[in-house]
Amino acid sequence: MQQIQQLAYKAERAEAARLAARQQIAPEQALRQVLTLAAGKAGLDQLLARRQAGLQQVQLRQQARSAAMAQRQSRSRLAAGSQPASGDGQLWQGWFDGSAVPNPGRIGIGALLHGPQGQSITVSRPAGYGNSSEAEYLALTALLQAAVQAGATRLDICGDSQVVVNDVNLTPQAIAAGQGASGLAMHRQQVCALMAQIGRVELRWLPRHRNAAADHLAQQALEIKLPAP
């Protein structure tokens, strides 16, 4: 069940939750039915193997990008003949994802933080109960807290939640006009306060399939059983 949960897409997990409730069957059985239908003639085992290989490729590409950036910055410093102060002008990269199962339900959050000198920090933990937007915000908050603790002063963040990315990137005028996402103002305030501690932060949306590593960490966190509320 753990492997299937980690490799299923968010839409597939949501469909499986609806199917389990509708047909009164076990969540694992429902998810297997959804994935078997998605696999078609290739079969479930081949689908899972293909997705596992894809996830590993995503993780390797992210590590390679971070390593290449660190090398470029190192060459630039050598060419300039000077060493900047710790953290000054050095770009960190982060990815985040949160999941609520069902929605609302148990929350799992995942995040990756890569530093310019090859540092790698991961977050994967349960985060209580709530809806999917709250889960995404909690994952972003955890990522920013890790970045502050690591001493990052420049950070480029990617996430696949358009709700959260758009909400954080609202202008002060738009917030004053009440255009913020409903019920998420406190989360936005906390995130903005953490961003201010870091300094230069850019938050961008990316497609869900390009955020597989963070999604994997969020799903992994859901395997940790929480006490009943």
pLDDT digits (tens, 9 = 90+) for 119-165: 999 999 999 999 999 999 999 999 999 999 999 999 999 999 999 99
Dump pLDDT digits (tens) for 40-65: 888 888 888 887 777 666 666 655 55
Q: What number is the average pLDDT over the span 60-78?
A: 54
- CA–CA gap between residue 170 and residue 166 (Å, rounded): 6
Domain 63-222: assigned CATH number: 3.30.420.10
Residue with tokens 């499986």: 16
pLDDT, greater one: 57 or 185: 185
**pTM value surpassing 0.75:** no
Rg (CA), the chain: 19
Are 125 and 171 in contact by the 8 Å Cβ rule? The answer is no
Residue 96 pLDDT grade (very low, low, confident, very high; cuts 50, 70, 90): very high
Helix (H, G, I), strand (E, B) or coil at 125: strand
Q: Dihedral (C-alpha) 194, 199, 204, 208: value to the nearest 10 degrees?
A: -50
Residue 84 pLDDT grade (very low, low, confident, very high; cuts 50, 70, 90): very low
Which of 9-13, 29-33, 95-99, 161-165 shows the lowest per-residue confidence on average (mean pLDDT)?
9-13
pLDDT, greater one: 5 or 121: 121
End-to-end CA, the chain? 23
Q: Which amino acid is at 171?
A: T
Q: Where are the domains of the chain?
A: 2-45, 63-222
Distance of CA 128 to the CA centre of its chain: 16
Tokens for 56?
């590993």
